[in-house]
Structures are given as C-alpha cells and as structure tokens.
Amino acid sequence: MERIYLDHNATTALDPEVLEAMLPFLRSGFGNASSAHADGRQARAAVDEARSQVAELIGAQPREIVFTSGGTEADNHALRGVLELARVPEGGTPHLIVSAVEHPAVLAVAQHLEKQGVRVTYVAVDPQARVDPDAVRAALTDETVLVSVMLANNEVGTIQPVQEIAAIARARGILVHTDAVQAAGRLPVDVQELGVDLLSISGHKIYGPKGIGALYIRRGTRIAPLLHGGHQERRRRGGTENVPGIVGMGVACRLARERLATIPDRERELRDRLEAGIRQQVPHVRFNGHPTERLPNTLNLGFNFVEGEALLMNLDFEGIAISTGSACSSGDLEPSHVLMAMQIPVEEAHGSLRFSLGKETTSEQIDRTIAAVVRVVERVRALSPMYADFKRQQAAQETQAHAR
C-alpha cells in the first residue's frame, strides 16, 4: 500500500527540479568557488545565483545572505555571533530574550549562553502558544542585546507577532532575530516588513537538500562569525562552500516563492478537512495551537487517555508517517516543552500528535488518514486502563442520573 507522509515539518522530499539542478555540481562541476580558474568561476556563478534566489524569497539583498549548514547553524550564528560582540553599560550583564516555545536550535543556545554569563529571559506564551508583544516590551532592559522569537512554531504551527515585537525592540535599538525555518515557503516572509535584523531558514523544510541553510544578516548588523576560517561568505562563515547544497537551496527557494500563491491554500483546505474528519468521529480530542494564526499545513491534536507514541507506532504500521511533538525530541519521552509552555496538562501532552501536510498531499490520502486515526485511536483506547476508568465513571454517572 502507498505510504502517506504527513511529517513535512520534520523534513520534506527533495524536489525533482532541485535534484536536477544539483546533479551537475555533484558530477563534473566540482570546482571550488574560491578558485580563480574556469571551474571555480562556474561554481562561483552558481553560488551567486543561488544567493539571489534565497534573498528574493525573503525580500533581502543577496549580500545579506550567509549560507550555513542548516537552520541549527543559522540560529547558533545569530545568537552567539551577536552576543559575542555585545556592548552593555559598564559593569552590566548582556541580556537575551527568547520565547519559551523556540526550537532547541535556539533554546539550547540560550542555555549555553546562560552558562557563559549571559542573562536570558524566556518569555511565556498563552495557551495557544502566542507570545504577547507587551511581555517582550516588559522584559527589555538597557542591557538587552537581542530578542529572538520564531516566526512559526514547528510543533503546533502558531505564528508569532514578530512584526510587532521587532518594532518594539528596534525602537530601543535592540537587534531582533527570527527563526523562520518553518515559516519560509509556507507564509509570505519579508525581512523589511517584519523589521528583523536576522532571520534563519533551512533547505530541507522546503523541498531542498539537508545540511544547507541560510542566515539573513541585515546590512550593518554587528555579528561575529561562528566558524572562523577562510574568506568565504565575506569572512562571515569560513569553509569551502557546499556548492551542490547551495544550488539546491537556491532552486528550492525559487520554487517556494512561485508556489506561495497556490500550495499553502491547498494545504490549508486539506488540513481543515483532516481536522474536521477526526473531530467528528473521534471523541475526547483536544486542539493544540492557534485556530487562525497558524501554519496552513500544520495540525496538532491531543487524544485523551492514550500515549502519542502508541498512536504513532500504530499509524506507522498502517503506512502513515506523523509525529509526536517535534521530530528532534522523538525518542525521549519527556512531554514537549511547547505543549508544557501552553499549560496543557502532562497526560494530555503525552497523547498529542502532529500532522504536517505537504505539496503532494491528496484528499484521498487525507480520507485514508482520517479512517486510520479513527481505527487506531479506538484500538489503543480499548487497551487503556485510563479510558476503562473513564468509561466506568461515565456509566456510573448515567445510572445515577436515570435513578433520579
């Protein structure tokens, strides 16, 4: 049976057009983009074109794009690079603000910086995972160097009011970074409109290759390199360029921009059909996230009385790939930090599943998924002592009500 892949927030398949564009640079076009000869110049021209394509997706200038090894490196570079050059009033402690629902690529860096003496504020979110811009305003001090709030959350899809947050921070001369790894290609993203100084994106979330990403650095931003080495990337990232990866990332960005007018709407329609189908047929389901300010492809649902891992394994057995929490945390059974920050009770967080649709998802796949979820939840709940208890209590209450 054809497998159904609904885990596009974890990663996406390489687009055939991206692969075609990369192949020549994996075969004969192996030149080093820093070499002066024709082979090198060919590689340099390809890197330059890709840089323009990436810049165009986010409304930046090509010179403001630094290629990285992915979203994680872009986030590390933004936070560590800015904090390294932080200037704070005499005797002060540099201060960083991040949201509590950031990806570990930001959160773990913040924790690392904390150990190095940086003061970090983790701004709380509301039950729909939104950051309140006023909470960021209240956290700003004269020592605040950087605010980093993601554009869209990878687990529940909630879109953050980054534009408002950036306006508040920049009015005080404070730099703003946003992790747009999940947002790029799914929402219009424009660095001018957002008013951010730094923005991270990743190739493999937008049908590009893995191991490539980019950091937008607004012209004039004070930031140290993360990787010291050669002169590459205007000395902002040493190391011979990953030319095939960069070429793939460029084409993926061009395709993402071309598809922005059609694919997200299609995904939203199918996603809503999936949500409606499940909620109509499965009782005791909780919706996690923001009803409207949300990525068009993402649906996070909590199934009471069961473990998400058990649902995941059963759905996988039925040929359907979904995720519990974020891909990066699957394997550890801690409840998702995002759901915890949304104040979802631990038992309910444990029963949460993320469905993330892609450009190839069909309505037939959605209908098959709904049917499978109905079947699997029923089967797993039938084995759940918690559900048995609930049913007994429910039956007892009904008997009492009849007796009255």
Where on the chain is the footprint of ligand PLP (CB under 6 A)?
70-72, 75, 103, 105, 150, 154, 179, 181-182, 202, 204, 213, 328
Q: Is the CB of 69 or the CB of 369 nearer to ligand PLP?
A: 69
Q: Is 354 helix (H, G, I), strand (E, B) or coil?
A: strand
Distance in Å, CB of 292 to ligand PLP, minimum: 20
- The residue at minimum Cβ distance from ligand PLP is 71
Other CB atoms within a 10 A radius of the CB of residue 278 amount to 21
Distance, CA of 55 to CA of 112 (rounded, Å): 30
Nearer to ligand PLP, 133 or 245 (CB): 245
What is the spatial distance between Cα 204 and Cα 253, in angstroms, rounded to a whole number?
Answer: 11
179 bridge partner residues: 200
Residue type at 69 in one-letter notation: S
Nearer to ligand PLP, 186 or 381 (CB): 186
Longest dimension (CA), the chain: 92
Shortest distance, position 210 Cβ to ligand PLP, whole Å: 7
DSSP 121-172: EEE-B-TTSPBPHHHHHHH--TTEEEEE--SB-TTT-BBP-HHHHHHHHHTT
Q: How far is the CB of 236 from ligand PLP (least distance, A)?
A: 18
For residue 65, what are the β-bridge partners? Answer: 216
Q: How far apart are the first and last CA of the chain?
A: 53
Give, in order, the Cα–Cα distances in Å from 2 to each of 201, 368, 372.
Answer: 31, 11, 14
> Residue 346, SS3?
helix
User: Taking the complex as a whole, how short is the minimal distance between the CB of residue 36 and ligand PLP, in angstroms?
Assistant: 32
Please say whether the beta carbons of 49 and 39 come within 8 A: no
Specify the residue, 71 or 335, whose C-beta has the smaller distance to ligand PLP.
71
Nearer to ligand PLP, 108 or 167 (CB): 108
Closest distance between ligand PLP and the C-beta of residue 142, in Å? 29
Reading the block at residue 75, the tokens are: 């986030």
Amino acid symbol at 150: M
Smallest distance, Å, CB 241 to ligand PLP?
A: 17
Cβ nearer to ligand PLP, comparing 204 with 381: 204
Query: Helix-strand-coil percent breakdown of the chain, rounded to 5?
Result: 45, 15, 40
Per residue in 186-197, is it b (16+ CB within 10 Å) or e — as a string? bbebebeebbbb
Nearer to ligand PLP, 22 or 181 (CB): 181
Q: What positions carry a catalytic annotation?
A: 328
Position of tokens 């002592």?
A: 385
The minimum distance between CB 99 and ligand PLP, in angstroms, equals 11
Which residue shows structure tokens 């071309």?
Answer: 258
